[in-house]
Amino acid sequence: MAPRLILTGFMATGKSAVAAIVARRLGWPLIDTDQRLVARAGKPVAAIFSEDGEPHFRRLEREVISEIACDRCRCALCKRQRPAVVSTGGGALVDEANYRALSATGVIICLSARPEVIARRVEKSRTERPKLLEGAKPLSERIEELLAERRGAYARADVTVDTSDITVEEVAERVLAAFVRLGARRCARSA
């Protein structure tokens, strides 16, 4: 298996923060699919949704993930595919092509949190999160609805780590432990 650690999960579960810590600890590059998508589109996620629509956003997301998965650059030391920590957007795994591409490149770890924790975390940034604004529903109801829609996609991850009651550092520890337990290989210098 390629040495990629892929973090996915619902919004506000800690993907970006945990990915940064894990990448730093492993000494691996961090690839954030949303950041790449925003750079390609030249505008924030909320603007892509409002100006171009969700189908356009999902098409860009699929392109970015496909490119990441097809990156066949090899490590100069061990000759395996270059390792990386990949952080995806919250809805990325819903798309079957994204799931297949990511699962072929490494270990998928889903970060989760209880709905009330997510609501508390997104309260101040809900206008930056287009999926929360759909249907003009109360925040908690919309979160529950989206979680239900995505439950099957998230269940396909190799492992899930609940971030509700632990620190970002503790989440990173659990993610790394799960990654090692699932047989991840680190690049090692030749003797």
> At 114, which CATH number?
3.40.50.300
Domain assignment present for residue 41? The answer is yes
Enclosing domain of residue 153: 4-181
Lowest-confidence pick of 66-80, 109-123, 131-145, 146-160: 66-80
Classify residue 88 by its DSSP letter: -
Q: How many CA atoms lie within 13 A of 6 on its CB side?
A: 28
Domain assignment present for residue 100? The answer is yes
pLDDT in tens, 88-108: 999 999 999 999 999 988 899
Domain assignment present for residue 186? The answer is no
Domain assignment present for residue 189? The answer is no
- The Cα 111–Cα 20 span in angstroms is 14
Tell me the residue type at 147.
Answer: L
Domain assignment present for residue 163? The answer is yes
pLDDT in tens, 48-69: 988 998 899 999 999 999 988 8
Query: How many domains, in total, are found in the chain?
Result: 1
Confidence (pTM): 0.87
Domain assignment present for residue 82? The answer is yes
Question: In the block, which residue shows the tokens 């819903």?
Answer: 94
Domain assignment present for residue 190? The answer is no
